[in-house]
Structure 1
Amino acid sequence: MAIVEFAFLAAPFFALLFAIIETALMFWTSQVLEESLSRVARSLITGQSRTIYNGATGAANAAKFRDDICAVAPMGLIDCTKLFIDVRVYDNFAAASSGTSASNPISGGGLSTGGFTYVQPQGNDIVVVRAVLDYKLFLTSWASAALANIGSGRRGIVVSMAFRAEPFVSSGAAPAAGS
């Protein structure tokens, strides 16, 4: 009798347990990505990015920025091959909130990252940074189906930051008098 009762209760119990674990891992990955992006984006705020990300192309800078995010993330939780970076500069916050940065990179059941770019900020620029991770869910049961938003067993995790860069002096320019 106890075995029959256990059989009836075990399946829903373990399904719920695995759903909780799947959701917790997804939220943890999202938090790790947010914190890693915040730490690496500090170089954009302070102007250090001008020397760190000085590649010949925006794609090379985006790749280095992505690699730095992955290096900061603990335990290799973020798959760098599935992380996409978008760094844009705007004249004001209104333009940033209505521009390309406001568009959702998750559309039509897939990721739309083709227009992502890397623009090196100058002092006082409004900068919007987005990191989009194509996250593979571990379970393929009913629990992960509710979490998937870019295909079966996959979820797009989007982390964004908007800030004004510090008034650093761009390389080659002389500091203003009295600075």
Structure 2
Amino acid sequence: MGLSSHPDGGAHPPRAPKAGLLRRFRRSERGVAAVEFGLVAVPFFALMFAIFETALMFWANEILEESLSQASRRLLTGEAVSRYTSNNPAANAQAFRDDICALAPTGLIDCSKLYVDVKLYSSFANASAGTGAVTAGGALNTNGFTYNQPQPGQIIVARAVLDYQLFLTSWASAALANIGPGRTALIATTTFRAEPFVGS
């Protein structure tokens, strides 16, 4: 068993596998798609996550701006005078901050990381957004942030700064971060003249 006959009557050992088997293996394209996908999957999904994170960050900034604008109507109309009645500016700032957070979709703005600044000026020419919210060294700067009760006809500059957490992709986060690893400052500012309401 295992021997094959030869025309001359002799016997030969079993023949070796044909070389064509190796050639067929090299030509086979089964599994190529899976291998190619495996090569591009990691950078593809990383890019998708980076796009998603960037879009989410811009959306959060837009929500912050809209919420600040809506809450600032209380400053514009003088409602703030009867709404934020504490003698402590920090308490009034916290109440104003809570109103901003209440106007934003639940969970999108971390109120514990939101800082507000409300300043008054006599004219638009003198109005200023105050000190920069981000230092040259890449730190969040809220020094000088306070709450000034609006007065009729005065120029009001209201600012909200959110310490926003980046979380999806480390390399994208590094490109977007400006106040430390995985964190960026989202800033919203609005400037307007208060209506001639009856002051406190």
What is the TM-score normalised by the length of structure 1? Answer: 0.91
In the alignment, which residue of structure 1 is the partner of 2:115?
Answer: 84
Matches within 5 A, 1:122-137: 122-137=151-166
Q: Whose helix proportion is higher, 1 or 2? A: 1
Q: How far is the alpha carbon of 1:75 from its aligned partner? A: 2.1
Q: Which moved more, 1:41-50 or 1:71-80?
A: 71-80
Q: Structure 1: give runs of 5+ residues left out of the alignment.
A: 172-179
Q: Is the 8 A contact 1:140 1:153 kept in 2?
A: no
Matches within 5 A, 1:26-65: 26-65=57-96
Residue identity matched to 2:36: E
Percent identity over the alignment? 61
Matches within 5 A, 1:94-109: 94-97=125-128, 101-107=129-135, 108-109=137-138
Work out the CA distance in 2 between the residues paired with 1:132 and 1:68: 14
Q: How far is the alpha carbon of 1:168 from its aligned partner? A: 1.0
Q: Which moved more, 1:107-116 or 1:138-147?
A: 138-147
Work out the CA distance in 2 between the residues paired with 1:145 and 1:139: 11
Work out the CA distance in 1 between the residues paired with 2:165 and 2:102: 20
In the alignment, which residue of structure 1 is the partner of 2:186?
Answer: 157
Residue identity matched to 2:76: I
Q: Is 1:71–2:99 an aligned residue pair?
A: no
Whichever of the two has the greater Rg, that structure is 2
Work out the CA distance in 1 between the residues paired with 2:178 and 2:37: 34
Q: How far is the alpha carbon of 1:111 from its aligned partner? A: 0.7
Q: Choose between structure 1 and 2 for higher RCO, CA contacts under 8 A separated by at least 6 residues.
A: 1
Work out the CA distance in 2 between the residues paired with 1:39 and 1:92: 22
Residues 94-147 of structure 1, C-alpha deviations (whole Å, 9 max, x = no match) = 2113xxx24321112011102100000110010000000000001242111111
Q: Is the 8 A contact 2:46 2:169 kept in 1?
A: no
Q: Is the 8 A contact 2:138 2:179 kept in 1?
A: yes
Residue identity matched to 2:161: V
Q: Is the 8 A contact 1:90 1:126 kept in 2?
A: yes
Instruction: Count how many residue pairs are aligned between Structure 1 and Structure 2.
Output: 168
The runs of at least 4 aligned residues of structure 1 exceeding 4 Å deviation read: none
